[in-house]
Amino acid sequence: MRTVFWEDNSVKMIDQRRLPNALEILTCQTHAQVAHAITDMAIRGAPAIGVAAAFGLALAARESSARTPDDLLADLRAASTLLLSSRPTAVNLAWAVNKVLRFTFSESETLSTQALRERILSEAQRLADEDVDINQRMARHGADLIADGDTVIHHCNTGALAAVDWGTALGVIRMAHEQGKRVHVLVDETRPRLQGARLTAWELEQYGISYEIISDNMAGHFLKTRQVQKVFFGADRVAANGDVANKIGTYMLSLAAHDNDVPAYAVVPTSTIDLSLATGDLIPIEERDADEVLGLEFHGERVAPVNAKARNPAFDVTPNRLISAIVTDNGIVRPPYHLNLSIILH
């Protein structure tokens, strides 16, 4: 089953808020519903939200009452503003939306309005199919970095749930497993939304891969005591110099890995590489509702005092010096990233 797909003139997606307790499909019939699903993290993961937004534009085209291609384009641009505001850090979202808009503009002079609506859907579907192929190519490249018997730490969720199918960093682990390598995964809980404990652990059970859940602050212990051979994570944006923006906690994990000479690998599609930003300092960092931190409960009781305040940045930036290599669909990129990322994209 794909994480996000088009069916019955609707965008359907696995509702990741319900996992692991229930596997439910959320149906979106308007682009505004898609935008809300992205903001509320019913769907999450950079590749997945990019494709969801592309399908959201296909819905917007069908919602539009425009009779001319120019009017349809105007409605699509308005819809894109809402979709782009749903999650600011993941560059795949803007990449997919802009790709559909550029495609629509290029076709608008030769097609009727109705034909244009159908072509927009076809383009969104093409992006979805392409995502699966990209992820499998990344997985094959990255699997070469995993040896038989490795224990790896994995942060957040980067599997099929974070993409249309297969995934990025977890897709690499899955590929190594399917190649017959014995892999054990230490799954960071990934606070505060616990994507590791809720989603990655659920996926690993589906694949039959050995795993144990650890809290984020245990990673340093396992690295220092030489119980881990590799660290893997994804990214929501990679700057031109190789700085990586990823789920909060990645920076501290990478620091601990670097201090203990354990390689840390980011696995990203080339669409996540943003050469327009010179360094990671320029990447916008989404700050989410404090209730995601304050709403945590322990044994059914609230953890924080009722009047407590909290900060909740959703991402942090890991400097390129802490990244051993970046795995892409075009191959494995090693330092110096300011040179080699440009090469891998061309």
Please give the positions annotated as active site.
236
Which single residue is written with the structure tokens 């220092």? 224
210-214 vs 184-188, strand pairing mode = parallel
What's the chain look like in SS3?
A: CCCEEEECCEEEEECCCCCCCCCCEEEECCHHHHHHHHHCCCCCCHHHHHHHHHHHHHHHHHHCCCCCHHHHHHHHHHHHHHHHCCCCCCHHHHHHHHHHHHHHHHHCCCCCHHHHHHHHHHHHHHHHHHHHHHHHHHHHHHHCCCCCCCEEEECCCCCHHHCCCCCCHHHHHHHHHHCCCCCEEEEECCCCCCHHHHHHHHHHHHHCCEEEEECHHHHHHHHHCCCCCEEEECCCEEECCCCEEEECCHHHHHHHHHHCCCCEEEECCHHHEECCCCCHHHCCCCECCCHHHHCCEECCEECCCCCCCCCCECEEEECHHHCCEEEECCEEECCCHHHHHHHHCC
Sheet containing 264-267: order of strands: 210-214, 184-188, 151-154, 230-233, 264-267, 325-328, 331-333
- CA 47, chain centre distance (Å): 5
4-7 vs 10-14, strand pairing mode = antiparallel
